[in-house]
């Protein structure tokens, strides 16, 4: 069911400083900032030869990233995103197996313009998993 890793997401308190560090210190290509109000985040993508790193900054006080940063003020790994061929088939298979899909279970459109879902971290050994349809 799982395809390749699409990205690894890191929550950061200052997306500008984090972008500068990846671009200027590590020499990586960094995308422009993108606000995603439906998800409560501002993101940039660090482009790597084999995957991407998504830097997440809270967009508003109710952002789930704000809650994450309250517990982890320096930031840290937030989630890992895997690609799936059909997000609805994947969702139904996971729910039938007992996994919990966050939210109402309906996919939302993610930063790449494709449907995404998040799976409860308690079902996957403390790791928040995002699924993104190809």
Percent of the chain with pLDDT over 90: 98
How many of the other CB atoms lie within 10 Å of CB of 71? 8
Phi, psi angle pair for 129, to nearest 5°? -115, 130
Annotated active-site residue 130? The verdict is: yes
- Evaluate if pTM is beyond 0.85: yes
Give the per-residue pLDDT at 32: 97
Strand, coil or helix: 44? strand
Q: Given 54, 57, 83, 130, which residue is catalytic? A: 130
CATH no., domain 5-133: 3.10.180.10
The mean pLDDT value for 83-108 works out to 97
The mean pLDDT value for 85-93 works out to 98
Give the per-residue pLDDT at 61: 86
Whether the Cβ atoms of residue 46 and residue 56 lie closer than 8 Å to each other: no
Q: Using alpha carbons only, how large is the chain's radius of gyration in Å?
A: 15
Give the per-residue pLDDT at 87: 98
Q: How far apart are CA 116 and CA 97, in angstroms?
A: 19
């Amino acid at each position: 069911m799982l395809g390749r890793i699409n990205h690894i997401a890191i929550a950061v308190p200052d997306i500008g400083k984090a972008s500068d560090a990846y671009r200027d210190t590590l020499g990586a290509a960094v995308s422009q900032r993108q606000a995603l109000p439906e998800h409560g985040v501002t993101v940039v993508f660090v482009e790597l030869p084999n995957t991407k790193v998504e830097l997440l900054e809270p967009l508003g006080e109710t952002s789930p990233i704000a809650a994450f940063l309250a517990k982890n003020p320096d930031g840290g790994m937030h989630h890992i995103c895997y690609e799936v061929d059909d997000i609805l088939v994947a969702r139904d298979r996971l729910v039938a197996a007992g996994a919990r899909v966050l939210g109402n279970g309906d996919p939302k459109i993610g930063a790449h313009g494709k449907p995404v879902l998040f799976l409860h971290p308690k079902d996957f050994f403390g790791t928040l998993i995002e699924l993104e349809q190809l």
